[in-house]
Structure 1
């Protein structure tokens, strides 16, 4: 049976590197949205709790309910209909019009659009947002933004930091006027954290670095992290492929000599995407994926009972012309997970 192995030692190593950069483990919020980037929501949340992390970030209340007892504070990024609530939940306010739909007496973080132009109120709307929430007895516990180019060599990163610095000053003024406590400020994702010297915000939202990846890390000389996930497959059947015979849909691979091949129980239905035949993929142990990946299986030139399909997705991300995030989050959440 196909399975995902989660390396606890590697995860804790990454948490250690991240905590050092942030200044302390208290300044780390682990991002667990979309099934912890495919790694398993409850599994990673449980390990993060064991490491001592007290803050988490998820997409929905349903995700938050799964991990509610493991964290003191859980920021929910994309929930408009609040069907249940907890003292640990903080709802992201992504626009002014959502304020009137929120129930009273909840806690929120206001998202400010500092240049990504995706979600968030504009810097000019921040006071209006505070006043609208104040009238509804909603407590503002955070103000945050998101960087659009933290992992790219552009000036946008510094420009957004400057905009958010002005937002912070405006928020301090507003809170003083309304006699409100200052909210937590946070802007850094994984790449932004590692591009920031002397990190001084209340916490960083760390996603992909948790799982061992920092795209474009070489440009900025980011620290080396360790991938947490490996994907394993079990043998279904073996045969001798004769010279001249082809295998799989379309017969795109033809044997140049007699060879032993086997099918394994991982395919694109499990989230291991079809290879485009222009780039060949080789497993960590040196086995080649032969022909097209099927929905439920693929073919390798081995007869081993169990094979590691990947333990680092950089090569697959390059083959598919995408980012590491997409390779891991695409995996079927029903694949069995084991912590090693």
Structure 2
């Protein structure tokens, strides 16, 4: 395997398959695969290409029009929903219609604005977004929903679905249930092709018999929605680098920008070619990496392209280093950093090569250009 860098992310497609199959077996209904933010850092083109032949993957969800168009150009034929509000130029709406992309209808004002941008004899697919308590985007009352349905032009809009998003499905049953009740009260007896409110956490922790489409996000990538250490799902991404240099330093000598680490005895310091430009932030100072079956501490400040680790004489130049993976889970790393696994994955920059593995062999390598 030849790479232009010693730092790379390994994407295990067998783990991806395991996770989506597990969720589908539990939910027993079609799924919408959430691949926004470059599939949480895993590569949305590669993830979509892998999942498109799964019979139960009904739709894909993205965050931007660019992502949606590139999926169509890749040959993705499944439905594509843009989860947020997109820019409202006529050109954008023309492209959404041309590429058969569904937009989220987030307000009455948004509907009126779009009405003036749609060409005669053209029709835009939409999913109506309801704000049931998160207070981000969406219609907030039953009256607003009924007004939209009464005034929307059926010659311009094809209402494909209706949905909401939960703020606390992973941690607060009371608030979650309040949102569920609000959603189904607003929907009432209305009929839609797709009714979807179940995100990964809702499918993992709750029962819902009315939603006919589940949005699989974080569990698809192998992490528990609540950030718990669990073997229920298999982590899809691992991040590796290699030891680039080792030097001995002596008591009183200091390491890195700001000279924030001081050796107390003779020590070996290994330099690794990974830094915050790769998404490995400065907050990782003091944490650890995994080399040759053992944890070693990160010392000194993480640099833009490099970082330093205190090692011993069992570590050598060229040894593989696990940043996160089988021995350092994303959940444990997130806990150390007081964040969530989502953020860590999304921060892995596109200059880090992605190696896609399937059945123990390399299927594809995507490198930064």
TM-score normalised according to structure 1 size: 0.88
1:281 to 267, 278, 288: 288
Question: Would you say 1:257 and 2:257 are equivalent positions?
Answer: no
Find 2:65's aligned residue among 43, 61, 68. 61
- State the aligned residue count: 326
- Could you say if the C-alpha distance between residues 158 and 223 of structure 1 is closer, same or farther in structure 2, counting changes exceeding 3 Å? farther
Gaps of 5+ in 1: 173-181
User: Take 1:31 and 1:260, find their aligned partners in 2: how far apart are those partners?
Assistant: 44
Alignment of 1:61-80 (within 5 A): 61-68=65-72, 69-78=75-84, 79-80=86-87
Matches within 5 A, 1:1-340: 1=5, 2-24=7-29, 27-52=30-55, 53-68=57-72, 69-78=75-84, 79-81=86-88, 82-83=92-93, 84-85=95-96, 86=98, 88-102=100-114, 103=118, 104-122=122-140, 123-134=142-153, 137-172=156-191, 182-197=192-207, 199-216=209-226, 224-275=232-283, 277=285, 279-283=286-290, 285=293, 286-300=295-309, 301=311, 302-305=315-318, 306-311=320-325, 312-340=329-357
The answer as to whether partners of 2:253 and 2:263 remain within 8 angstroms in 1 is: yes
Q: What SS class does the counterpart of residue 151 from structure 2 fall into?
A: helix
3-state DSSP class of the match of 2:173?
Answer: coil
| CA offset digits 1:307-336 (Å, max 9, x no partner) | 221112212211221111111112212321
Matched residue SS, 2:26: helix
Q: Is the 8 A contact 2:245 2:317 kept in 1?
A: no
Q: 1:200 offset after TM fit, Å? A: 3.9
- Report the 3-state secondary structure (helix = DSSP H, G, I; strand = E; otherwise coil) of the residue aligned with 1:165: helix
Query: Structure 2: any 5+ residue segments left out of the alignment?
Result: 358-369
CA positional deviation for 1:141 = 0.3
Deviation at 1:276, TM superposition (A): 6.2
- Go from structure 1 to structure 2 and tell me whether the alpha carbon gap of 1:17 and 1:199 turns closer, same or farther (over 3 Å shift): farther
SS in 1 for 2:10: strand
Which one has the bigger strand percentage? Answer: 2
Q: Secondary structure of 2:167's partner?
A: coil
CA contact (8 A) 1:264 1:297 kept: yes
> Secondary structure of the equivalent of 2:131?
coil
Alpha carbons of 1:222 and 1:89: their partners in 2 closer, same or farther (altered >3 Å)? farther
